[in-house]
Each structure stands twice: as structure tokens, then as C-alpha cells.
Amino acid sequence: MRTIDLSPHGITVADVRRNLPPAELYAEALRREPDAALADSGALIAYSGAKTGRSPRDKRVVRHPASEHDVWWGPVNVPITDEVFQINLERAKDYLNTRPFLYCVDAFAGWDPQHRLKVRVICSRPYHALFMHTMLIRPTREELATFGEPDAVIYNAGRFPANRRTAGMTSKTSIDLSLETKELVILGTEYAGEMKKGVFTLLNYFAPKRGILSMHCSATADRDSGASSLLFGLSGTGKTTLSADPKRLLVGDDEHCWTDSGIFNIEGGCYAKAIDLTPETEPDIFQALRFGAVLENVVYDEDSHHVDFHDTRITQNTRGAYPVEFIRNAKIPCVAGHPTDVIFLTCDAFGVLPPVSRLTPEQAMYHFISGYTAKVAGTEMGVTEPQATFSPCFGGPFLVWHPMKYAGLLADKIRRHAARVWLVNTGWSGGAYGIGTRMKLPLTRAIVDAIHSGALRDAAVARDPVFGLDVVTACPGVPAQVLVPREAWSDAAAYEATARKLAGLFAANFAQYASQVTADVAAAGPRA
């Protein structure tokens, strides 16, 4: 069981170390990876090299007659021929075959046994093996013994570049997906998150085919009823942070599916942002970064091996991966009932969206298709103007079908299960980035608590004239003046101008979908 013959995959290396436990992968990493280290907390510190984030522009999907009419071709899904895919696949295998030994991780994606995918990861770095051991669902001893043929295979040759003379390559990085063979090839990036999001992309193709909605969201469950609640949002909006909630059970922090019988987590681990992490504000995540976890691209003190989570010298995108059961109140198996509440998180750096509003079904569709958040501009350039980002379904880079496919499934499931939908701004308050401040985490937690307790179901609301939203004006634990941005800003004219500006950005972005939705949905957005 500890080794496996990979020759059916064209891998000729004899020494293949299969499903090593973390203790051994730690030892291998410390022995073989020159910069790996043990943190004082017991976590393994590893470095992903030049790439410290995903490379969305270098993703390619094989254009094949069987799936070409399903795929949303464009900047998210850039086509390559099967010929090019085979060239990159062979290149990856050739590289892996030069290694004296390899790691293989056989594990599952999807906690619902009816829908789970058997995934095989073949890689040369212990760090990558440990990462996927953590992020996939770990098989029991028996499940591993009877694993059989995998459904999907990841060939991670990230240390070796793509050949820029290969047709369709625009850099030395290439992440290539074949939907037909369920193979993922990684060249020219050692960022481990590519593997995790590659698996998610596969699910984003196959789940909707069966009427299952795959979602870029975190999920928690009610301790008593087992009903769930979803937190959608783009990177940095608070999915992971807010799902670590001692009052609820954790189902998962990033990727879920919604079936006819409820929801299930796709993953076996969580992948938290580590920037500015403190034990005071995020105690559950902080304590999970211990033996068994992987800490990526963090800076630590050479003498004490104490990690400085505020140090962004390597990247702002420092991360920690840990098994889901490291969160004390995790719900194992990670499945739960139908959602009672669906929360869209946005980090509005313009500071004009209300902290919490209640959405009509039409507004829910409008905001799901829009997928708005904002990024704060790089401080080193001295730019303070926030950048609006619109990413459909709050997960544009991982979609395979057109966004309307997912939107239609969501609308249907929300209607059928009578889920309430909320828009929560975890971004700026009292003014835009540079003037206001980010919503205090305890206040956002109070809002999420109030949604879950039912306190906001019949709460007082006021219609916002620009965004058309039913803004909640009274919420336990949140000062009333924070709840209405118009009143939280000291400069009323500046508020009005900024709100109109954001409304205009919403409208300009939505124009591309307007012909594909009902008039009610198209009219449910902000008035520019």
C-alpha cells in the first residue's frame, strides 16, 4: 500500500511513496527541501517559489467535440487542442520520470459517497503531497486498499517549465485540463493552490451536468437542526474566516455542492489566508496551524522559528492548509441539510454597500451573476482608488459552463428550499479605502449570528435609493449608525458620488448578461 506501480500512467520511476502520513512527509520535506522548516507551533513551513498565487491567464482547457458546446470559452477557459495537451502531458511525465522518487496521493473529492471523485496526485515535492493529503478527503486504510483506478489524475511537474514554443503557450507556466480524461497537467508553477482549484474546476464541469450546483462558498450547519448556511464570496471577502464559527458546525471553508439531499464539502481541508492572523481575532484558525498543517510562504524568526504573520515580504497571500477536523466543531462527515440562508460576501472598498441587506429572488440572481467585490490598490504605487472586480457566481476563474448555468441552478434550489438570501459587506465603512476603515470583524460576526438566529428575518429595513436594497437598519450587536452607509459617511456629497459611481460600474458589467435574464432580474440592480 505504501508504494504503487504508476507505469499505466507512463511513469517509470520505481520508488513511488504513496499516501505517506504527515509525520513522514514532514521528515521528507525537512530532509529534501532546502528552505522547508518546522514552525514553533509544529506546522511545516514550505515555499512555493516564484509563484505565490494562482496563474489564471495560463490555464488551458482541451477543446474536444464531446464537451466543446458545454464550455464557456473566453478568457477563463482558453482552448488548446488535444495535440498540445498531449505535448504538455508528456513533458510533465518526462520531467517526473527524471526524479529518483515520486509521491502519490490517492484520495477523494466530495464527502457524499454517491458523488465523490477518486483523485490521484503524482508529484515530486513532499510539500505538494502533504498539501493535497490535507486538502483532499483522506481515505481510510480499507478505502485505500480498494481504491482501484482513479477518476482524475493530477500530474504536478510545476518545477519544470512549459515550452513557450508550444502552440498556445504565452509563458513558462501552463495549467492544462482535459475534461474528457479528467487529467490536469501543471508546468511552471509550484503554487499548490493550482491543484486544489483544478479539482474544483473539474467538479464545476461534472456537477451541473447532473443537476448538482457546485459553489465557491464556505458552509456551516446548525448544531440542532443540521440545516446549513452558505457564505459565497471572492478571495479575501471572509469565507474561511466567518465559517470558523464556534456557534455553528463547520462543513467547509471554500468549495461545496448542493444536491437534492443537501450540501456536501468537496474538500478534506481548509486553506486560510494567514496575513495578519492573530489568536485573538481568529482563534480557531490560529490553533489549527499546528503539527499536520502546512504554512506557505510565511516569514519566521531564524532563532525561535516563530512565524510573523504580519510580514508580507514574500507575499500578501501567505496561507495555511489544515485538515478540516483541526477545527474543533467541524462536522464530520462534511455534509449537511439544505441551506436556510445564503449569504453573499463582498468586500466593498468604496464603503457604500450596506453591512447587511435582504435580497429579493431577483436581486439574488443579479448579485450572484455580478459577483462584485473590490480590491484595494497597491500601496507602493501610492494609488488609493479601489478597483472594482466582477466575477460571476463569485468564482469566475473556476467556472466551466456559462455563468447562467450555475445561476439557473441556484435560483431553482433557493426557490425549492425557500432559502433566504443576504448581501453582507465585509469591506469598508464610514468612507472609502483611505478614509473609512474595514468593518470590524466582531461586527460582521454579529451580523452573521443575527442571520443565523433568525433575528434579521423580520428586522426593520429601509430601501436604499441607489442600490435598491432592503438595508437592515437594526441588528443585535451592531451600532445603528454603521448599518446605513449614507449616514456613516461624514461627507454626504462624497457618499452620493461614490455610490453612483459604483452603481455605474455594476450596470456596465451587467450589460453583458442583460439579454439572458428576465426583465425583473435585469431591473434588480443599482440605478446608475
Residue 131 C-alpha cell reads as 498539501
Nearer to ligand ATP, 120 or 256 (CB): 256
Asked if residue 217 lies in contact with residue 237, where contact means CB atoms within 8 angstroms, the answer is: no
Find out whether the peptide bond into 397 is cis, omega within 30 degrees of 0. Answer: no
Nearer to ligand ATP, 240 or 498 (CB): 240
Query: What distance in Å separates the CA atoms of residue 227 and residue 245, rounded to the nearest whole number?
Result: 15
| Minimum CB–partner distance for residue 353 and ligand ATP (Å) | 13
Query: What distance in Å separates the CA atoms of residue 56 and residue 193, rounded to the nearest whole number?
Result: 11
The one catalytic residue among 58, 176, 253, 254: 254
Q: What is the DSSP letter of 247?
A: T
Respond yes or no: is residue 70 known to be catalytic.
no
Contact range with Mn ion by CB under 5 A, out of 91-99, 254-262, 415-423, 449-457? 254-262
How many Cβ atoms are within 10 Å of 461's Cβ, its own excluded? 18
Does position 317 bind Mn ion by CB under 5 A? Answer: no
The only residue of 77, 178, 204, 240 in contact with ligand ATP, by rule CB under 6 A: 240
Nearer to ligand ATP, 124 or 189 (CB): 189
Respond yes or no: is residue 197 known to be catalytic.
yes
| Minimum CB–partner distance for residue 236 and Mn ion (Å) | 8
Respond yes or no: is residue 247 known to be catalytic.
no
The only residue of 52, 235, 259, 318 in contact with ligand ATP, by rule CB under 6 A: 235
Nearer to ligand ATP, 242 or 502 (CB): 242
Of the chain, the end-to-end C-alpha distance in Å amounts to: 62
Nearer to Mn ion, 240 or 340 (CB): 240
Does position 242 bind ligand ATP by CB under 6 A? Answer: yes
| Minimum CB–partner distance for residue 320 and Mn ion (Å) | 11
Residue 419 C-alpha cell reads as 432559502
The one catalytic residue among 235, 340, 391, 429: 235
- The DSSP line for 31-56 is HH-TT-EE-TTBPEEE--TT--S--G
Residue where the block lists cell 510533465: 92
Respond yes or no: is residue 254 known to be catalytic.
yes
Number of residues that bind ligand ATP (CB under 6 A): 18
Question: Which residues inside 415-444 make contact with ligand ATP, applying CB under 6 A?
Answer: 426, 438-439, 441, 444
Asked if residue 445 lies in contact with residue 245, where contact means CB atoms within 8 angstroms, the answer is: yes
Cβ-closest position to ligand ATP: 238
Question: Which residues inside 121-160 make contact with ligand ATP, applying CB under 6 A?
Answer: none
| Minimum CB–partner distance for residue 270 and Mn ion (Å) | 7
- The DSSP line for 96-123 is HHTSS-EEEEEEEE-SSTTT-EEEEEEE
Nearer to ligand ATP, 252 or 468 (CB): 252
How many Cβ atoms are within 10 Å of 46's Cβ, its own excluded? 26
Query: What distance in Å separates the CA atoms of residue 49 and residue 46, rounded to the nearest whole number?
Result: 9
Helix (H/G/I), strand (E/B), else coil: 379:
helix
Backbone angles phi, psi at 373, to 5 degrees: -150, 180
Catalytic residue numbers, as ranges: 54, 197, 216, 235, 239-240, 254, 319
Can you give the binding site for Mn ion, defined by CB under 5 A? 239-240, 254
Can you give the binding site for ligand ATP, defined by CB under 6 A? 233, 235-242, 254, 272-273, 275, 426, 438-439, 441, 444
